Structure 1
Amino acid sequence: MANAIERRLEQVRAIWNGFATDPEARLLIWRCDLDERRMIDMLVELETEPAGAATPDVFLTLRSAFLKPEEHAKTLLQELTDQFDRSRQDLIAANLNADWQPPDPAQPDGVRLLKALDSFHRFYADGMELLAIYLSPERIADPAGWRQWLERLARVDLNASIRFMVTDALDTPLLDGLQTSAPDRVRSVEPALDMSAAVEELARSEGADGPAKTLRCGLAAVASAAAKKNPRAAEKAAAGALAVAKTQGWVDQEVVIHMALGAARIGAGEIDKSADSYRDAIVAARRATEAAHPAGAKLEVATGMGLGSALVAGSRWPEAARVYEAVTPLAEKAHDATMKLESLRMAAWCHEQATADADAWRCGLRALAAGEAMPAEQRASSTLPWVGQSLLRLVGRQVSPGEQEAQLRARLDTAMGEGWEGRLEPGAATS
């Protein structure tokens, strides 16, 4: 009997099959939340592996960032070619022809990309019905350009065996109304998978009865109530889970429950109550540390960052800044360089929102120093670029930034490499 996740995967597959059998459709837009997107990603991953495939279609995922509309087709073609080159030996090992090559490079990029997809499908037509291209850009620098680019793509006169699909976030949609601009070619669906209910069902159905299962079900119920923005239901579920955790002496799980309730209350807009939950989590984390729990130090860091997020949600900037600064020594104690950088970055940002530029500058420089002390590979995936952006913004407000700005830029370029500002994404600076 299929479990809750498997049934939802079948729902996703059924939506795809309906789109695939529509002879006019070319572009499928999945309007979904983050958990639903994970199910779509799972479908693509399973259909990419021959052992897990349940449709006659072949899926290819292209993740190139959308930076400039006029360059995107060329970037996608390069990614497609690179993917194929990496898979040649696997094709040969599977006794498949690995001789496919992209078409004439003298053609315009957009034409060449579409011809490449068409030729790829024809080359391997015996092994697929449709070639499904999942466009999942790791970054979209130009949302309006992305929408226009997809609209043009949907209108291209292309082999019906080539299909495209994308996801669009329900809470921050970029593609609203795109279907009406090309109703014959674009299909937009909301899978409505109710993933929070799936998690609850899994928690109830798996494992032997006992305290651990009861606790797991309680946490799943908190998450489900949070997704439905029902704080009273979240409180009821959290109370039951806490009773189990206290009876069993699971202080680390007390922390988890308080934080889950805090997140649910933030989502419901109950900022004061959310902050209370995170303060309860901080108390429990301290008890874990006092009891020599191995995760105690990291729990103290996580709970402090959680309280800061609640205060940020309530625009309580000075208080949030103090909380984030207090997390820094905890992160040092936990030997967590990433959270040390992040606590200082958020402290700087909150001070800046409170127009306390001197304190913002002080914390920003400490964040930069924390980033510089990281190993290069860890620094490359950190939030240090937003620290740099903030510092440049602050120094730029001085009457004569001059030499100080030049020195700061040189230091930032040394830490992150020239062109680091190109890695900045709108909306990512405070989370």
Structure 2
Amino acid sequence: MLETLLNVEEYGSGTGPDLFLRLTSPLRSPEHYDHALAQELITRHAALRERLTAAGVEPSWQPPRVVSESAPLSVMALATSLHQHYLPRFRHLALVLMPESVASETAWSQWVERAVRGPFSPQVRWVCPDPIERNAFKQVARGTPRLIHTCVAGLNMAAALEEISEAAGDLETPQGRFRHLFVQMSRALGAGDLQLAEQCRTEAVAMAGSQGWRHLQVVAQIALGSGLLSAEGPQAALAEYRQAEAVALQAQAEGEPSGARLLLQARLAVGSALVASADWKHAASVYEQVAVLAAQIGDLLMELEGWRMAAWCHEQAQSWEEAWYCGSRALETAQLMDAPARQSSTLGYAGACLLRLTELAHFSDKRTEIEQQMEHLLGPVWQPTSPGGTQA
């Protein structure tokens, strides 16, 4: 919702009296962040020239001249100058700080505290979105109650979606009824009401089945399974995923065009539950089936993922030969992909798995070959930064 508000306000459709500018420079250190923001503010204004013109505003602001290189203008000084230049067009200038990365939560809160205690213009505001579970600015806000206003967005999106579904109407039609049941099931899962969620799933699956909507049956069962995975554990989820798999097989047998894709999605879900159960042998088998299915429908990305996860599961089961075979198949699949697709895939984890296997005597002579292949496919810096876990 915040992203939507900023997009509306920044790109010419906003009707509010304030100018919002989003700044995303990384915070590498509190000492250098101000300079990075100042440079980005100048760049952001330049990028907005056309939109300001379209809104009837002459984009004639120029950054004030720097007195000396040793005393560069702060981002607040630039923002104040920018706001004064466009008076009375904009009531306030709101700088929305959304750094793409921060050195640490401590560095982030230190900079915010320094900024709010420093020189400022009443017409320039800092807006610092902060996830409530992180709450990095809690102590800063307590120490500066007159300078910081905290607004907690108490949103209940599940309830909002249900209201939207009700307002959309057509609840007496199969389409409308399924939509509303699915929304209600999602809300029940979020509230931890598994009994209601299962009731909604049962009715939704029956509704979809009566209409021949196999894809919606699968969607409803996978959605409930995902909720059960965290609430009741992998075995409860696996039972639901297996039902979704059975429906997908039925769709495939009936010649439904989406049958293979539905089966692929269902088996990916089954695999995730088996991994959560540490049932490595059966999980590896399912992911091998995923790879074969993906190859049949021409989905190279999922074919690679199937072989990659199968290799990882075999590695956990200490089935070294099978792990090597599946990992090698992942690399073979990657060779059929274009460079951008490889870069966005999990190929690096497949390579890391094979590299770990070369630590075994049986595969030790393959290490140089694997390193060369991976550098050819992904470049010299190809190894993932977090080598552990499934990375599913």
TM-superposed CA distance for 1:188, in Å, is 4.2
**Of 151-160 and 101-110, the range deviating more from structure 2:** 101-110
Aligned to 1:96: 57
* RMSD after superposition: 3.5
TM-superposed CA distance for 1:58, in Å, is 1.7
Q: Deviations over 1:171-209 (max 9, x none)?
A: 5x2627444564434444432211011111212221423
CA contact (8 A) 1:251 1:288 kept: yes
1:347 to 290, 310, 314: 310
Q: From the superposition, tell whether residues 289 and 180 of structure 1 become closer, same or farther in structure 2 (CA, over 3 Å).
A: same
TM-superposed CA distance for 1:281, in Å, is 0.9
TM-superposed CA distance for 1:223, in Å, is 0.8
CA contact (8 A) 1:226 1:263 kept: no
For 2:278 and 2:113, the matched residues in 1 are separated by 38
Aligned to 1:21: none
1:193 to 138, 155, 177: 155
Alignment of 1:213-362 (within 5 A): 213-354=176-317, 359-362=322-325
Q: For structure 1, list consecutive stretches of 5 or more residues without a partner in the other structure.
A: 1-38
AA aligned opposite 1:85: A
**Is 2:382 the counterpart of 1:412?**
no
Q: Deviations over 1:210-263 (max 9, x none)?
A: 111110011001111121122221101101111211111211111111111111
Q: From the superposition, tell whether residues 340 and 84 of structure 1 become closer, same or farther in structure 2 (CA, over 3 Å).
A: farther
Question: SS of 1:126's equivalent?
Answer: coil
Give the alignment's TM-score, normalised by structure 1: 0.76
For 1:101 and 1:65, the matched residues in 2 are separated by 24
Q: Deviations over 1:15-43 (max 9, x none)?
A: xxxxxxxxxxxxxxxxxxxxxxxx22222
1:116 to 71, 78, 87: 78
Q: From the superposition, tell whether residues 162 and 264 of structure 1 become closer, same or farther in structure 2 (CA, over 3 Å).
A: same
**Of 346-355 and 318-327, the range deviating more from structure 2:** 346-355
TM-superposed CA distance for 1:322, in Å, is 2.9
For 2:321 and 2:278, the matched residues in 1 are separated by 19
CA contact (8 A) 1:229 1:268 kept: yes
Q: From the superposition, tell whether residues 43 and 337 of structure 1 become closer, same or farther in structure 2 (CA, over 3 Å).
A: same
Aligned to 1:130: 92
2:46 to 77, 85, 88: 85
CA contact (8 A) 1:222 1:264 kept: no
TM-superposed CA distance for 1:302, in Å, is 1.3
Q: Deviations over 1:262-305 (max 9, x none)?
A: 11212313321111111111111122222222222221111111
Give the alignment's TM-score, normalised by structure 2: 0.83
For 2:351 and 2:37, the matched residues in 1 are separated by 30
Question: SS of 1:59's equivalent?
Answer: strand
CA contact (8 A) 1:132 1:165 kept: yes
Alignment of 1:176-191 (within 5 A): 177-179=138-140, 182-184=143-145, 185-191=147-153
Q: From the superposition, tell whether residues 147 and 282 of structure 1 become closer, same or farther in structure 2 (CA, over 3 Å).
A: farther
Aligned to 1:160: 122
Alignment of 1:13-24 (within 5 A): none
- Aligned residue pairs total 389
Aligned to 1:373: 336
Q: Deviations over 1:294-330 (max 9, x none)?
A: 2222211111112222333444444333322221111
**Is 2:5 the counterpart of 1:46?**
no
Q: For structure 2, list consecutive stretches of 5 or more residues without a partner in the other structure.
A: none
Larger Rg: 2
Q: From the superposition, tell whether residues 352 and 97 of structure 1 become closer, same or farther in structure 2 (CA, over 3 Å).
A: farther
For 2:366 and 2:135, the matched residues in 1 are separated by 39
**Of 380-389 and 281-290, the range deviating more from structure 2:** 380-389
AA aligned opposite 1:380: Q
AA aligned opposite 2:178: L
CA contact (8 A) 1:178 1:186 kept: no
**Of 98-107 and 219-228, the range deviating more from structure 2:** 98-107
AA aligned opposite 1:280: Q
CA contact (8 A) 2:21 2:44 kept: no
AA aligned opposite 2:123: S
For 2:388 and 2:22, the matched residues in 1 are separated by 25
For 1:402 and 1:259, the matched residues in 2 are separated by 41
Question: SS of 2:91's equivalent?
Answer: coil
For 1:68 and 1:360, the matched residues in 2 are separated by 43
Question: SS of 1:61's equivalent?
Answer: strand
AA aligned opposite 2:208: A
Q: From the superposition, tell whether residues 276 and 85 of structure 1 become closer, same or farther in structure 2 (CA, over 3 Å).
A: same
Aligned to 1:5: none
TM-superposed CA distance for 1:145, in Å, is 4.1
For 2:317 and 2:85, the matched residues in 1 are separated by 61
AA aligned opposite 2:285: R
For 1:104 and 1:399, the matched residues in 2 are separated by 67
AA aligned opposite 1:56: P
